[in-house]
Amino acid sequence: MIFAETKSPEIVSIISLPSGDLLPKSERIRNAAYARGKDLGSVAIGFVQHPQEAMSPNDEHIAYVGMNQSGRMDVKPEEDGVIATSALAGCTGIAGFAERKDGSIATFISHYDTIAQNSLFTGKDSPANKDLYAFRYQAKDEELDGDRYYVIAYEKNEHNNPDYGQRQGVFKDWRYLDQLDTTATQLGENSKVIFLPYDQWDHGGSGHSLASGKSDGVEGIFWDGQKIDIDEMLKAKSF
């Protein structure tokens, strides 16, 4: 289902990746991934194991989201904590970040493979659509001290898929990037969205990381440990 009761947010696509100090450190995310994997076991390709769940950080202030999972987390005022995923190498990763008036931070992370977003296999639209909409209610307008920020990361060759841009049939049968393109326009006027097309073969094919929250006192959304300055990118309007 498509909702269109609010104005479109500001949307831009990244053409130059962020640079700077790495936060959070990659080994902290790897440690969290290993611990989370031991608890969950293997995840079947194309199978979405859990709906978005409330998560808590580990001793290193990391909450880890595995493939075909999604999670949300609140970071308390004056505390560090990020929710993160890794090994993005062809999958779609989505992050949300918002500051509340009480000083807390609302975050979420999703990580889905292409099969889990294909209605031929699931009979449904991409689960990422629900995660995007849900953040509007996790970070309510009246509680915000600013905007809701989203980053949608996907493999750049998706643009070469012959089904992309066709939008034939009902919404759930569209190519998943078409679905996310549309959903991104309907997240409310307090939303700002960055599309991040990435190369899955960077880092030797080991995949990318995506995180949201506060790390070593730095707040925001982090791609491969580097903060994405969404306001600056929107200001530049780099399409």
Percentage of the residues of the chain whose pLDDT score is greater than 70:
78
Domain encompassing residue 62? 10-50+57-236
pTM: 0.85
Is 147 inside a domain boundary? yes
CA 197 to chain centre: 12
Is 79 inside a domain boundary? yes
Is 4 inside a domain boundary? no
45: phi then psi, degrees, rounded to nearest 5: -60, 135
Q: How far apart are CA 213 and CA 111, in angstroms?
A: 16
Digit-coded pLDDT (tens) for 70-104: 999 999 998 999 999 999 999 999 999 999 999 99
Sheet of 208-215: strand order equals 62-64, 81-88, 208-215, 218-223, 226-227
Average pLDDT of span 102-131: 95
pLDDT at 228: 93
Residue 207 has pLDDT above 70, yes or no: yes
Number of domains composing the chain: 1
Residue 154 has pLDDT above 70, yes or no: yes
Q: How far apart are CA 116 and CA 123, in angstroms?
A: 10
Is 1 inside a domain boundary? no
Is 2 inside a domain boundary? no
Is 5 inside a domain boundary? no
Is 74 inside a domain boundary? yes
Q: How far apart are CA 191 and CA 214, in angstroms?
A: 19
Instruction: Please name the residues in contact with 148: beta carbons below 8 A apart, sequence gap of 6 or more.
Output: 96, 97, 98, 135, 136, 139, 187, 188, 190, 191, 192
